[in-house]
């Protein structure tokens, strides 16, 4: 069964003039008829600073809006009101050379607040700040719990400090604190009609950690969207019996939730981890019956990954899942669900002798990177990692991250994958992430024992982990390992590292030529 790549269901992009009526309608739904934006205000914002206005769309419907403009430090750090600093909502005080980004608006349709749209808009705003090389972001943040607690705390400043210290809870201010913003004071009379905040706002600042950039990294940052740091979570998944698909889905969601709670950009599951679904039958199945049973779950499995990626705002590398294709061939497919709602499929190219013998699995014939919001990524499923041509082909397409879902039964088999993946990390100056199974499934043919030690590997040079391992797991124990991977460090190492494997290739002597798909 072939699953084609879907279009993104949830996307964040720059706003255009065509979006104005939908943004007006959104602001009216959120703020009411009297306090929403007019078409004239929005046209002014887009005219002043078009690259600083963003919309979030769900199935083509505008469900979120973010407005910004550039301003000087003298302006944004001085006391001000929302109306005075935004020019009455028109962003007319935009300064093309301003070194701070001012956040004048983030609003989200209340019917879609379970999809972390606010977080996505904040992240896009931060990325714009980084790309432009600005000092940081400033805005006035609402204090919706202030009116109820003013007598208790005595002042708006005391209220902010109480929330910051964890003594009080404020949903809005707490969200901003969790997103890396810090209060530098309070703004009196910021929004006079905001009775919940008594007109006050927290004066919030996020400082760009990359303001003093290395020249090489700056050229990449300023050329477009670029994440210097990507957080990756690899799941060492324990196989155990499940009663039905819902039981399997509960386990998968648990790990996605954990990874998202730690703000991971990617969560990776092992190869063939969906064979756990064969335990539902509670009886040994022949290889043919096993594949037929697994293919019956393909649609539900893909829908599960897509739903979780959207709900938890995370990119999911869905291990692998054997599937009968439309032409009757059986492929070992990796389904990748991105947090924009799109689904991508990558086939294992090199089935092992056991896969060919027992499962009649054949290899795919294409290997393309997947464009994500953290840059292009490559997939190598287990045995694929032992062929250097594939890693080089993916790297030549721009991949900085290579993901290796694997399934090995013995330590020897595991070490083949690990050593090969470490070699791919060194020769391609890339990060390589491994995820494997542990535990066992009695009664499931050809899936009886597992050996794994999932890990996150780096090149071997001074800026990276001492032994080329950013994170490791305990062998054969269910757990999740995390690592923050610096993409800017990777780019700098490729250009100026102690060794420069990519740059120093002898193109005059050899090359990897990928045969065109017929």
CA distance 306 to 308: 6
CB < 8 Å & 24+ apart, contacts of 257-261: 257/312, 258/233, 258/480, 259/233, 259/235, 259/312, 259/314, 259/480, 259/482, 260/312, 260/313, 260/314
CA distance 274 to 320: 7
DSSP annotation of 358 reads I
Two tokens, residue 57: 């769309």
| CA-based nearest residue to 400, from 375, 417, 424, 427 | 375
**Catalytic residue flag (residue 188):** no
| Residue 67 exposure: Cα atoms within 13 Å on the Cβ side | 25
CA distance 130 to 126: 6
**Catalytic residue flag (residue 271):** yes
**Catalytic residue flag (residue 348):** yes
According to DSSP, the residues that pair with 334 across neighbouring strands are 346
CB 278 within 8 A of CB 447: yes
CB 87 within 8 A of CB 69: no
3-state secondary structure of 170: coil
3-state secondary structure of 469: strand
Q: What angle (nearest 5°) sits at the alpha carbon of residue 352, between those of residues 350 and 353?
A: 130
Among residues 105, 228, 271, 386, which one is catalytic? 271
CA distance 75 to 307: 43
CA distance 437 to 128: 39
CA distance 171 to 233: 27
Among residues 348, 386, 407, 478, which one is catalytic? 348
CB 69 within 8 A of CB 94: yes
CA distance 26 to 441: 51
CB 115 within 8 A of CB 150: no
CA distance 65 to 479: 38
| CA-based nearest residue to 475, from 420, 421, 422, 434 | 434
Among residues 107, 334, 382, 460, which one is catalytic? 382
Helical (H) or strand (E) element with 315: strand 315-317
Catalytic residues: 271, 348, 382
């Amino acid at each position: 069964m072939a699953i084609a790549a879907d279009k993104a269901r949830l996307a964040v992009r720059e706003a255009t003039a065509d979006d104005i009526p939908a943004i007006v309608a959104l602001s009216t739904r959120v703020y009411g008829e009297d306090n929403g934006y007019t078409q004239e205000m929005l046209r002014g914002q887009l005219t002043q600073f078009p690259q600083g206005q963003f919309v979030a769309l769900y199935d083509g419907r505008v469900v979120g809006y973010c407005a910004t403009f550039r301003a000087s430090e003298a302006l944004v750090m001085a006391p001000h009101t929302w109306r005075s600093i935004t020019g009455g909502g028109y962003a007319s005080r935009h300064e093309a050379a301003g070194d701070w980004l001012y956040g004048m608006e983030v609003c989200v349709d209340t019917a879609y607040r379970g999809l972390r749209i606010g977080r996505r808009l904040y992240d896009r705003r931060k990325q714009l700040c980084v790309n432009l090389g600005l000092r940081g972001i400033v805005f006035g943040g609402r204090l919706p719990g202030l009116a109820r607690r003013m007598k208790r705390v005595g002042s708006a400043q005391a209220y902010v400090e109480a929330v910051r210290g964890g003594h009080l809870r404020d949903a809005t201010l707490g969200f901003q604190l969790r997103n890396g913003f810090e209060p530098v004071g309070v703004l009196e009379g910021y929004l006079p009609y905001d009775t919940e905040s008594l007109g006050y706002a927290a004066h919030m600042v996020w400082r760009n950690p990359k303001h003093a950039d290395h020249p090489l990294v700056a050229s990449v940052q300023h050329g477009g969207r670029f994440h210097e740091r990507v957080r990756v979570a690899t799941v060492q998944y324990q196989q155990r019996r499940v009663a039905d698909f819902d039981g399997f889905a509960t386990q998968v969601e648990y790990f996605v939730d954990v990874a998202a709670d730690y703000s991971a950009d990617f969560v990776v599951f092992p190869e063939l981890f969906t064979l756990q679904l064969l335990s539902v039958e509670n009886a040994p199945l022949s290889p043919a019956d096993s594949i037929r049973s697994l293919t019956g779950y393909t649609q539900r499995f893909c829908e599960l990954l897509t739903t979780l990626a959207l709900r938890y705002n995370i990119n999911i590398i869905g291990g692998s899942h054997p599937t009968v294709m439309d032409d009757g061939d059986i492929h070992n497919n990796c389904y990748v669900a991105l947090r924009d709602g799109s689904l991508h499929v990558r086939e294992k190219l090199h089935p092992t002798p056991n896969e060919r013998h027992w499962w009649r699995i054949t290899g795919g014939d294409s290997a393309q990177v997947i464009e994500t919001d953290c840059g292009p990524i490559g997939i190598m499923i287990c045995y694929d990692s032992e062929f250097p041509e594939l890693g080089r082909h993916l790297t030549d397409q721009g991949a900085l991250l290579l993901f290796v879902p694997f399934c090995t039964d013995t330590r020897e088999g595991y070490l083949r994958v690990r050593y090969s993946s470490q070699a791919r990390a060194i020769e391609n100056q890339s990060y390589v992430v491994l995820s494997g199974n542990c535990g066992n499934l009695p009664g499931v043919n050809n899936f009886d024992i597992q050996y794994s030690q999932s890990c996150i590997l780096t090149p071997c040079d001074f800026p990276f982990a001492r032994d080329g391992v950013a994170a490791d797991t305990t062998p054969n124990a269910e757990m999740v390992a995390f690592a923050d991977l610096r993409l800017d460090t990777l780019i700098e190492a490729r250009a100026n590292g102690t060794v420069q494997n990519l740059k120093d290739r002898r193109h005059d002597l050899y090359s990897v030529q990928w045969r065109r798909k017929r």
